[in-house]
Structure 1
């Protein structure tokens, strides 16, 4: 009896082992083991690919220093590494019982508007896997159409100088765009916003010309326009670097009284474009050192970066930059009270029939009233 019982149990165990083996195997396949990310450097961006089993649940989250992707049901060793690219500093895997968290650290901010293009590719004839394609770049930017609202009206006698950098025989930075062309476009857009709100605007150049064939004289001639009765001076430029990795917007100032103005310009341009902010910096550039009024120099992008120069060829992006500059200039002035129409109340007594008294022209108006400073 004991031997027969043992034999029956042994055969039953073998039966269940064969029956359950496919279930164990299918569970292992469903979870999958995550391999190291594939990567390649492309013109202007770094492409990273994660290869996953079909229908793997994933969740992308933006972090202050990059992104993380949660992969439910996956397994992975605690791997980490670096990529031979300036756009991604490092990657790492952290696994737990429910799945794997993948992190990519970037040297620039990433969100749903800049820094990353995320493209999930479902299984196809080319691949049976789900592929998560991630393109990282500081020049990657989502540019949405917008309708600029009119600026609040400026106080009387507001006078602004706009300086489109370079021009004529001096092209400035040359890459995906030519600097002197972009700066004039942006300056003219800013001028239109300002003049529609009542400001008087002077452009240091309004065509493709030099102010002087000698560079130093050209710069000093521009800076010389920044003096009273002018009130603010903005020099508009396009950046460049030899490596071709730089992208984004930065603002420069020199004198202490120009710092607040430079901060406003940088903040407004970043708000309008959602581009990478390279910050506000100080340097003794001639065009911002020599004016006698608050002055700042804005670098609105990089001609040397393939994607950022593509942004600078987009008229919507240029309009957003220009509107941000115009907003920052308007921020320097008080908001005038709006004069809404007033409906007079119904008279409870008969109105007088005698004409109103004519003001005596020999009595001077209050100067504050005359200049709209109420």
Structure 2
């Protein structure tokens, strides 16, 4: 496969933007938004800082935002406040005439970076030597365009944390075994929910290029890529035990990117939208410990002052790569729209985009 994205004028932010006050930065965003009107669309992921999310035209998870961008035919510019793979998905789904911009190219995803083209090609060759044509690949939407393309090319589909159960069922109607990329924890937790035993799951280690499994490989139903979310790995069994001990009436709700041991001990587990809706629909005065990204947890706390809400891990930090999108970078991106010197353009190679779109379409049709 060819180079993933074309990055035009991927420059360091000029120092002057760092010297502006928050008020000056906020005024500048408002000016540009007013000038461009419907020609500018700013999607903001749930994990963004409040200083950025206040200017989002839409908030949500990565797929929802990419779909909204695709439906917005009026927008010439889509300034995506998220991370790299999200902007790639938006570029895949939008028209060639629309420009997708990531305010800071350093805003990546450590999980997505745990599976690259070369590693996946090696893994697929070795796994098909072992299992023949009995494997279908699925990839979490938190993956690069190249991995989505690989999955699309090999008959597989994308999954989200909301539809993982549905898509895993779909995949098992197609093939006997599933290769699940790149988050082993979402794959494991979803498979357990569907009644698959842990001893029917193996782990593929892309560093050693080995299948980690003790036993008869013919019993394997799920091959989990050895990747993870660094944020959700921060929630531990000890966090759950401490909460149960100190606040026995507090309900624990976590994201399925958490380790299986944590999910198993929690009261509930589900996608970001599931967590948000569950808290919204809960009784006033109810008490919650949430196991997900801290910017989102803090926003939920602010939105629900009638409830007692804390992070499951009181030492948890926000997603560091997501936080690279800040007001100075947003203003810098918007300023360049005016003089037509747009930088940090996300442009997915046509062949990669075509196969990645196949994987996305299979998900949309079957979920």
Which interval holds the TM-score relative to the shorter structure? Answer: under 0.3
> Based on CA coordinates, which of the two structures has the bigger radius of gyration?
1
**Higher-RCO chain (CA-CA 8 Å, sequence separation at least 6):** 2
Structure that is richer in strand per residue: 1
TM-score under structure 1 length normalisation: 0.23
Structure that is richer in helix per residue: 2
